[in-house]
Amino acid sequence: MIVTVASFKGGQAKTTTAIHLAALLNAHKPTLLVDGDPNRSATSWNRRKGFPFKVVDEKQAVRFSREFEHIVIDTQARPTEEDLRELAAGCDVLIVPLTPDAMSLDTLFLLTDTLKKGNAEAKLKILLTIVPPKPSRDGEEVLATLAEAKLPTFKTVIRRYKAFQKAALEGVLVNEIDSPYAEEAWSDYVNVSKELLS
Partner DNA sequence: TGAGTTAGAATGGCACCACCCGTC
Partner DNA sequence: GACGGGTGGTGCCATTCTAACTCA
Is residue 180 at the binding interface for its own copies, with CB under 8 A as the rule? no
Is residue 31 at the binding interface for its own copies, with CB under 8 A as the rule? no
Is residue 107 at the binding interface for its own copies, with CB under 8 A as the rule? yes
Given DNA, its own copies, none, residue 44, with its beta carbon under 5 to 8 Å by kind, binds: its own copies
For residue 24, give the nearest of 3, 49, 6, 10 by alpha carbon.
3
Q: Are 153 and 127 in contact (CB under 8 A)?
A: yes
Which helix (DSSP H) or strand (DSSP E) does residue 185 occupy? Answer: helix 182-197
Which is nearer to DNA, 26 or 99 (by Cβ)? 99
Identify the residue among 57, 67, 92, 101 touching its own copies (CB under 8 A): 101
Per-residue b or e along 22-52, where b marks 16 or more CB atoms closer than 10 Å to that residue's CB: bbbbbeeeebbbbbbbeebbbbebbeeeebe
Sign of CA dihedral 8, 14, 17, 19: positive
Given DNA, its own copies, none, residue 70, with its beta carbon under 5 to 8 Å by kind, binds: none
Check residue 75 and report its DSSP letter: -
Is residue 193 at the binding interface for its own copies, with CB under 8 A as the rule? no
CA distance 98 to 144: 14
Identify the residue among 4, 26, 99, 193 touching its own copies (CB under 8 A): 99
Give least dist CB 44 to DNA, A: 22
Is residue 75 at the binding interface for its own copies, with CB under 8 A as the rule? no
Which residues, 6 or more positions from 89, have their beta carbon under 8 angstroms from its beta carbon?
118, 120
Is residue 144 at the binding interface for its own copies, with CB under 8 A as the rule? no
> Which residues are near DNA by CB under 7 A?
132-138, 159-163, 179-181, 184
Identify the residue among 125, 171, 190, 191 touching its own copies (CB under 8 A): 171
Residue range at the interface with its own copies (CB under 8 A); choices 27-35, 63-71, 87-95, 103-111 = 103-111
What is the rounded end-to-end Cα distance, in angstroms, of the chain?
Answer: 12
Binding site for its own copies (CB under 8 A): 8-12, 15, 39, 41, 44, 47-49, 77-78, 99, 101-104, 106-107, 110, 132, 136, 138, 162, 165, 168-171
